Amino acid sequence: MVLSKPMRRATILLVVSLPTQGATARMRIWRALKGLGCAALRDGAYLLPGNPMHRDALQALADECVQEGGSAWLMRVAAAKPGDAGVYLALFDRSAEYAALVTAWKEAAATLPSLGIAELARLQKKLRRDYEALVATDFFPGEASLEAEATWIDFNRRIDRVLSPDEPHETGGQIPRLDIADYQGRLWATRRRLWVDRVASAWLIRRFIDPAARFQWLAKPADCPRKALGFDFDGAAFTHVGERVTFETLMASFGLEEDRALMRMGAMVRSLDMGTGSVAEGAGFEAVLAGARERLPDDDALLGEISNVLDSMYAHFQREAARSKVRMSSAR
């Protein structure tokens, strides 16, 4: 194992002792230490890699211990011998935790076809929360983290295949710039039972590209009429290109990438559609869409309802973009 730079430097040790009657405080502090990813040298002695964020977090817990009538010592420590540093590093090995998560994902994957949309969304949200919590405390990632990341991506693709059969594969090549005037009053078609990329793309088309757009929802891509502009399926006029999902391909095709709010929405759609990365607003949008899909079997009604949600999200991202611009101007 290669010794990582943080372990060559001093680490931070918190030694705490709480009164025996303070069970509630003891549990609260223990949970906080676990949440930080501390390594326990023994009961009451906890170690973290040395950095200002960890120092501040442990100092806050030390202060809380003292307030509860206990005692706390916070100190910087270093291995006495070079060989001992590897022992400290092993205390932060997350391989077992990653293995447990991978096992849970594989077991969950077998149940996916039997779950409803809302159940799938809840399961994915819970498992994502567990995974991100582990990643946040994996201070020295190695092979186990890489293997878990690959399994997590595959697991999310399995969910996508349940939610969206016939999900398109990415294509290569350049995205040509199109004249929006040639795409007015057209018939657009995509797979029925709208999910993230399809419903967001349909909203984008009607809101920014073709206000008079008509939509046809397809049982299978082969049903797409010749006169229709297909989107978000293999062979469609607009689909995944490189790392772009269909929403982003449409933005690039019609010159909408200067709109910072739309770019934020594109990042959200990609994170949900591809199961990579995380956008704060994404989980809320996914939950609302899952619930709406359960209530509304008609895709026209679903698009109408989710369009209102996306209008509100666009306004939110516009405000965030404006605030960011003001902050950047002030910084200059």
The CATH code of the domain at 5-90 is: 3.30.70.240
pLDDT digits (tens, 9 = 90+) for 82-131: 777 778 788 899 999 999 999 999 999 889 888 877 788 888 889 988 99
pLDDT at 160: 75
Q: Is residue 5 a contact partner of residue 140, using CB atoms and an 8 Å limit?
A: no
The whole-angstrom separation of Cα 52 and Cα 57 is 9
pLDDT band at 283 (very low <50, low <70, confident <90, very high): confident
Give every strand in the sheet of 71-77, ordered side by side.
39-42, 45-48, 11-17, 71-77
pLDDT at 41: 86
Residue 7 confidence (pLDDT) above 60 = no
Tokens at residue 29, please? 């502090």
pLDDT digits (tens, 9 = 90+) for 159-181: 877 776 666 766 767 899 999 99
Tokens at residue 234, please? 């293999």
Q: Is residue 252 a contact partner of residue 244, using CB atoms and an 8 Å limit?
A: yes
pLDDT at 115: 85
Cα 116 → chain centroid = 21
Q: Is residue 133 a contact partner of residue 98, using CB atoms and an 8 Å limit?
A: no
Q: Is residue 136 a contact partner of residue 186, using CB atoms and an 8 Å limit?
A: no
Q: Is residue 118 a contact partner of residue 264, using CB atoms and an 8 Å limit?
A: no
Q: Where are the domains of the chain?
A: 5-90, 95-163, 180-329
Query: What spatial distance separates the first Cα and last Cα of the chain, rounded to whole Å?
Result: 45
pLDDT digits (tens, 9 = 90+) for 224-265: 999 999 999 999 999 999 889 999 999 999 999 999 999 999
Which residues partner with 45 through β-bridges? 15, 42
- CA distances (Å), 190 to each of 39, 198, 223, 236, 246, in order? 51, 7, 10, 9, 11
Look at the pTM and tell me if it is higher than 0.85. Answer: no
Q: Which residue has the higher pLDDT, 328 or 168?
A: 168
The whole-angstrom separation of Cα 56 and Cα 59 is 5
Percentage of the chain beyond pLDDT 90 is: 58
pLDDT at 246: 96
Q: How many residues does the chain have?
A: 332
pLDDT at 9: 57
129, 149, 256: which is closest to 200 by C-alpha?
Answer: 256
pLDDT digits (tens, 9 = 90+) for 125-141: 899 889 999 999 999 99
